Amino acid sequence: MKAYVFPGQGSQFSGMGKDLYDSNAQAKNIFTKANEIMGFDISQIMFAGTDEDLKRTDVTQPAVFIHSMAVYHSASDIKPAMVAGHSLGEFSALVAAGVLPFEEALRLVKLRADAMKRACDLQASTMAAVIGMEDKIVEDICASITDDIVVAANYNSPGQLVISGTVTGIDKAIEKLTAAGCRRALKLPVGGAFHSPCMEPARQELADAINSISFQEAICPVFQNVPATAVTSASEIKNNLIAQLTAPVRWTQSVENMIAYGATSFIEVGPGKVLQGLVKKINKEIETSSL
């Protein structure tokens, strides 16, 4: 069974999608629609912008989503047995599963990115990668810091967890994690504390938008970040998508559950090969490729 997976923020690169735009009519149509919905020529930033241009949250998130959708729609006759997306990538997965049309999903992605940027501006916050330590120990250390916000945010693969919180909270956690013997704990070059309570203002904005839209039942199981289990119910998908902004991305658990469900190969759809690498770290026997 083929599982299609969609990357999130961090997979962007200058030049992304230019070859597709030049060679595929379906992909070109996606970029044209995207420019209209965004209200500016985001395709030109994707094709020729600097790395700094692409690092802006309000550009990065729509750009990665648009690229994934251009790749997906340029392929013919895809029938996924199951789908999943890493953080932002969940919106791409929902389009692939027939839950949302591309246009509606992009409007939500744009709103999400703008709301997250505003939430980042309200509070000095960041994220850090923690390498070489058991999840439970990382969770316990985060929980021990009671005078600041710091939580486990991304369960990427065994021994690779990302924490998220206020700058001072992350600094305290890094100090404790290093003292406890983790192989590496370093801050990431991100705009704020995604998937943490710091994103509550953005979660409220996104909830209002999501609740005003009609979602369809999924045509295949969606392994969402919050439960890490198969979901097809439109109402459940809505609730999980809203919760995702302040809840952790359970990618390790999602991949393990997809394999248990019958996935024999994982196909990454979008820029980069980050998810293929994570899948291999979770289960080295599984076949991975990109679309």
Do 220 and 80 meet the contact criterion of CB atoms below 8 Å apart? Answer: yes
Write the single-letter amino acid at 155: Y
- Coil, strand or helix: which one is 4? strand
DSSP structure string for 114-160:
HHHHHHHHHS-EEEEEEESS-HHHHHHHHHH--SS-EEEEEEEETTE
Catalytic (active site) residue 233: no
Q: Which of 87, 92, 196, 254 is catalytic?
A: 87
In the DSSP assignment, the letter for residue 271 is S
Closest CA to 233 of 245, 251, 244, 220: 220
Catalytic (active site) residue 195: yes
102-122 and 25-38 helices, crossing angle to 10°: 50
Write the single-letter amino acid at 204: Q
Calculate the dihedral angle through the C-alpha atoms of 44, 49, 51, 57, rounding to the nearest 10 degrees: -50
Tokens 């291999």, residue located: 280
Q: Which of 11, 68, 195, 254 is catalytic?
A: 195
Give catalytic residue positions. Answer: 87, 195
